Chains A and B, each alone.
Chain A
Amino acid sequence: MTERELEQRLTARYRPNVDEAAPAELRTSVAGIPEAVGAPGLTIRGLQPTQRPLAFAAAILLLAAALAGGIAVGSGLLRLPWQSSTPIDPASIAPCELVSGGSAREIAVSDDGVPAIGAPNVVDYEEWINREGELEVFSAVGGRTCFFLLSPDPNNSRGMDSVLHLRGQATTGAEASDLAANIFDVGQAPFDQGPIIEQVGANRAWVGLLGERPSVSQPVGGQRMGEFFTPGMAVAVSAEPYFLVLTFDMDASILELSDAARGRWWERYWDTSLWPGIRTPLEDILTRLTQMESAKGQ
Chain B
Amino acid sequence: MTPAGLAEVERPLARAEAFRRLADNHLNASYRLARAILGDPAEAQDATHDAFVTAWRKWATLRDPALFEHWFDRILVHTCRNRLRRTQRWRGRDLAPELLLAPDAFGRVHDRDALDPAIARLSPDHQVVVVLRFHRDLTLNEIAARLGVRPGTVKSRLHYALKRLHSELDESDARGQLT
Contacts and interface: CB of A to CB of B under 8 A. Distances in A.
Partners in one complex: yes
Interface of A: 1, 3, 6-7, 9-11, 13-14, 17-18, 20-23, 25-27, 29-31, 33-35, 37, 39-41, 43, 131-132, 157, 159-161, 165, 167-169, 192, 211-222, 225, 251, 253, 256, 266
Contacts of B101: none
B57 A212 contact: yes
Contacts of A35: 16
A29 B49 contact: yes
Interface residues of B, number: 70
B87 to A, nearest CB: 6
Contacts of A17: 32, 35-36, 135
A30 B53 CA distance: 8
A256 B89 CA distance: 17
A26 B49 contact: yes
B57 A40 contact: yes
A217 B86 CA distance: 10
Given A30-B48, A39-B12, A222-B104, A20 B32 contact: yes
B85 to A, nearest CB: 5
B60 A214 contact: no
Contacts of B46: 216-217
Given A34-B56, A159-B78, A10 B15 contact: no
A220 B94 contact: yes
Contact of A31 (B23, B35, B48): B23
A251 B86 CA distance: 9
A12 B53 CA distance: 32
Contacts of B53: 33, 37, 214
A160 B148 contact: yes
A282 to B, nearest CB: 22
A26 B48 contact: yes
Nearest to B152: A104
A7 B148 contact: no
Interface string B130-161: 11011100000000000011100100000000
B99 interface: yes
A6 B169 contact: yes
A64 B135 CA distance: 42
B32 A211 contact: no
Nearest to A42: B57
A52 B148 CA distance: 32
A40 B148 contact: no
A22 B48 contact: yes
Nearest to A35: B16
A20 B31 contact: yes
B173 A26 contact: no
Contacts of B8: none
B56 A37 contact: yes
A22 B28 contact: yes
B59 interface: yes
27 contacts: A1-B166, A1-B170, A11-B134, A14-B135, A17-B36, A20-B32, A22-B30, A22-B45, A22-B48, A23-B45, A26-B31, A26-B48, A30-B27, A30-B48, A30-B49, A31-B23, A39-B12, A40-B59, A43-B57, A168-B74, A169-B61, A214-B50, A214-B79, A219-B43, A220-B95, A253-B82, A256-B149
